[in-house]
Amino acid sequence: MSEEVRILIRGMAAENADWGAPKIHGELLKLGLEVSERTVARYLQRLRRRGDPTKHWLAFLANHREVIVAFDFFTVPTLTFQLLYCFFVIEHGRRRVLHFNVTRHPTADWVVQQLREAFPDAVRYRYAILDHDSKFDVDVIAFLTATGLKPKRTSRQSLLVFHDLRRCGLLQATCTAQRALELCDAAQRSSRLWLHTGIWFKEHMEVAMRNLKKLSDAGVTIVMGTDTGGGPGRFHGYFEHIELEYEVKAGLTPMQALVSATGGAAKVLNVANQLGTLEKGKWADFVVLDANPLDDIKNTRNIDSIWVAGHRVPDKQ
pLDDT, mean of residues 164-173: 36
pLDDT, mean of residues 7-36: 81
Does residue 307 share a domain with residue 192?
yes
Does residue 67 share a domain with residue 26?
no
pLDDT, mean of residues 293-297: 94
Does residue 119 share a domain with residue 170?
no
Does residue 47 share a domain with residue 67?
no
pLDDT at 13: 79
Task: Look at residue 28 and tell me whether its pLDDT is greater than 50.
Answer: yes
The string of pLDDT tens digits covering residues 253-290 is 999 999 998 988 888 888 888 888 888 888 888 899 99
Residue 269 neighbours by CB under 8 Å, 6+ apart: none
Task: Look at residue 238 and tell me whether its pLDDT is greater than 60.
Answer: yes
Point out the domain boundary residue: 12, 34, 51: 51
Task: Look at residue 21 and tell me whether its pLDDT is greater than 70.
Answer: yes
Does residue 310 share a domain with residue 164?
yes
Please give the mean pLDDT across all residues of the chain: 77
Residue 277 neighbours by CB under 8 Å, 6+ apart: 262, 263, 266
Q: What is the DSSP letter of 96?
A: E
pLDDT at 48: 57
Pairing mode, if any, of strands 96-103 and 83-91? antiparallel
Does residue 202 share a domain with residue 108?
no
Point out the domain boundary residue: 153, 184, 206: 153
d(CA 186, CA 188): 5
pLDDT at 79: 62
d(CA 10, CA 194): 11
d(CA 161, CA 200): 11
Does residue 278 share a domain with residue 160?
yes
Point out the domain boundary residue: 122, 153, 184: 153
Question: Are 288 and 307 contacting, i.e. CB atoms less than 8 angstroms apart?
Answer: yes
Tell me, what CATH number does 92's domain have? 3.30.420.10
Helices and strands counted in the chain (H then E): 13, 8
Flag the least confident range among 233-247, 251-265, 288-302.
233-247
Does residue 64 share a domain with residue 45?
no
- Amino acid at residue number 158: S
d(CA 86, CA 264): 21
Does residue 162 share a domain with residue 140?
no
Q: Which residue has the higher pLDDT, 55 or 294?
A: 294
Neighbours of 45 (CB within 10 A): 10
- Most confident option among 16-20, 87-91, 190-194: 87-91
pLDDT at 317: 42
Does residue 196 share a domain with residue 289?
yes
What range defines the domain where residue 43 resides?
3-51
Does residue 189 share a domain with residue 144?
no
Number of domains in the chain: 3
The string of pLDDT tens digits covering residues 110-164 is 999 999 999 887 678 999 998 888 899 999 999 999 888 999 887 654 543 344 3
Does residue 222 share a domain with residue 120?
no
* Reported pTM: 0.39
Task: Look at residue 195 and tell me whether its pLDDT is greater than 70.
Answer: no
Task: Look at residue 210 and tell me whether its pLDDT is greater than 80.
Answer: yes
pLDDT at 198: 52
